[in-house]
Amino acid sequence: MQSLSSKPKLLIEPFAGGATIALTAVCENWVDHALIIELDPDVAAVWQVVEAGDALALADCILTFDLTYDNVQSELAKEAKTTLERAFRTILKNRTFHGGILAPGSGLIKAGEAGKGLASRWYPETLAKRFTALHQVRHRLTIECRDCMPVLERYKDDAQAVFFVDPPYTAGGKSAGKRLYAYFELNHNNLFEACSQLTGDFLMTYDDADEVHDFVHQYSLMSKLVPMKNTHHAPMTELVIGRDLTWL
């Protein structure tokens, strides 16, 4: 993304997950509105609850939950009947499963960080504060639970929209995306093609894989390796990709 001279009207985060960038951009007033798209209905439920004006109810569920192994297990064994229940289960899993991983095969933390067991990543007050803050900006958030590719097509000619694209990392046979997300299948060539046709500015992040470098070259984009930390706080690098990264 070039350094932006004026505030963008719309930030689109097509692979939302935790939607860190879109939510930060709205809360910090960097953009007027964010559109977040998420294919996994369990993950999308969290943002649908915020959009529907129920973030305070979700905060309340978090604050009043008594976190024990038995309570977590019986909560997760129940069938979620409402979007609020579904969203709460997603938050509970995200905070009590190994590495916050929701994909099938993941399971409850045992020893946890600093031997704190199941509660090692359960910070109810912090979570409740976040949802309370999101409740204030809910009118500036739109969520769509669906495949993001047609949405990229819909906004292709919109010069007022900017995009932050953080897909599951499965390009070049890399398996991180498969392990981390229930919905990981993606045609990376189609995604690169769609992004290269956007009128608005965009930033993508990717694993540093040969196939990704080939796409960058094929679609005449720029890439830079930037340092980051993974879910276990281990330092690593990832690729940032855009049309013009001379500002980075």
The stretch among 33-41, 66-74, 106-114, 132-140 that binds ligand SAM (CB under 6 A) is: 33-41
Query: Restricting to residues 176-195, which ones interact with ligand SAM according to CB under 6 A?
Result: 181, 183, 186
Q: Which is nearer to ligand SAM, 147 or 153 (CB)?
A: 147
Q: Give 194: exposed, middle or buried? Use CB within 10 Å, 0-12, 13-18, 19+.
A: buried
Residue 241 sits at φ, ψ, to 5 deg, of -130, 140
CA-wise closest residue to 41 among 145, 197, 190, 182: 145
Using CB under 6 A as the binding rule, whether residue 60 contacts ligand SAM is answered as no
41: contact with ligand SAM by CB under 6 A: no
Nearest-10 Cα torsion for 155, 242, 130, 40 = 60
38 near ligand SAM, rule: CB under 6 A: yes
Closer residue to ligand SAM (CB): 37 or 241? 37
DSSP 97: B
Q: Which of 190, 144, 135 is nearest to 167 (CA)?
A: 190
- Among 9, 18, 119, 172, indicate the residue that binds ligand SAM (CB under 6 A): 18
145 binds ligand SAM (CB under 6 A): no
When asked if residue 207 is in the footprint of ligand SAM (CB under 6 A), the reply is: no
DSSP state at residue 2: P
Q: Which is nearer to ligand SAM, 82 or 190 (CB)?
A: 190
- Give the residue, chosen from 9, 17, 27, 243, that forms a contact with ligand SAM under the rule CB under 6 A: 17
Alpha-carbon gap, residue 217 to 115, rounded angstroms: 46
Q: Would you tell me which residues interact with ligand SAM (CB under 6 A)?
A: 14-15, 17-20, 37-40, 43, 147-148, 166-168, 181, 183, 186
